[in-house]
Amino acid sequence: MKKLLIIEDDVPFAATLARRMSKHGFSCEQVHQANKALHACLQQKPDCVLLDMKLVSDNGLMLIKPIRAALPKVRLVLLTGFASVTTAVQAMRLGADDYLAKPVSTQMLLTALDSPLTNPKQPHNVAALDIDTMSAERVEWEHINQVLSSNAGNVSATARQLGMHRRTLQRKLQKKPVSK
């Protein structure tokens, strides 16, 4: 039985993930705070880790390198509700094995967690982020909303960070998200 550590601040969602994965032969443990994640990794020594990108005020990306250093053979999958090409590339460079956008199906989770590790230092898959069919407008919209979220909804700070005029950003935010 594979051990799975779920690092997710949304307690009901983490419980749902644990139930879903338990039905497929995983022994699941949950951690809901970023500051307890590394300790849980060292204590539990899981085979796989599902890591949420947004952990209350923390960013799950900052946990990838320490987890990878502590458990070099762990299968590490980043989950996010704010999928973008930028964060996918960043996650893979930091050492994540896969990158999945929420909501995620059980089959996608199983595929990501059961994929063999060919080379743990070389990322190989960006699952659930269909870059080939995602339009440039959709990628831009996803990125803008992720930056806006990281700035706690502050449009002025987001515009500065993105290097665009505040009114231009407001117009883009008023548009409905384009489909993939």
CATH number, residue 168: 1.10.10.60
Q: How many domains would you assign to the chain?
A: 2
Mark whether 80 and 40 lie in a shared domain. Answer: yes
Contact between 86 and 126 under an 8 Å Cβ cutoff? The reply is no
Mark whether 83 and 153 lie in a shared domain. Answer: no
Mark whether 66 and 146 lie in a shared domain. Answer: no
Using left for φ > 0, alpha for ψ between -120 and 50, and beta otherwise, residue 65 falls in alpha
Evaluate whether residue 179 is within a structural domain.
Answer: no
How high is the pLDDT of residue 121?
Answer: 42
Mark whether 17 and 71 lie in a shared domain. Answer: yes
Mark whether 100 and 170 lie in a shared domain. Answer: no
Closest CA to 69 of 30, 126, 120: 120
CA pair distance 53, 150, nearest whole angstrom: 11
Mark whether 159 and 104 lie in a shared domain. Answer: no
Say whether pLDDT at 126 is over 50. no
Mark whether 73 and 148 lie in a shared domain. Answer: no
Contact between 172 and 144 under an 8 Å Cβ cutoff? The reply is yes
Mark whether 75 and 144 lie in a shared domain. Answer: no
Question: Residue 28's domain spans which residues?
Answer: 2-114
Say whether pLDDT at 120 is over 80. no
0.75 exceeded by pTM: no
* Higher pLDDT pick, 15 / 56: 15
Evaluate whether residue 119 is within a structural domain.
Answer: no
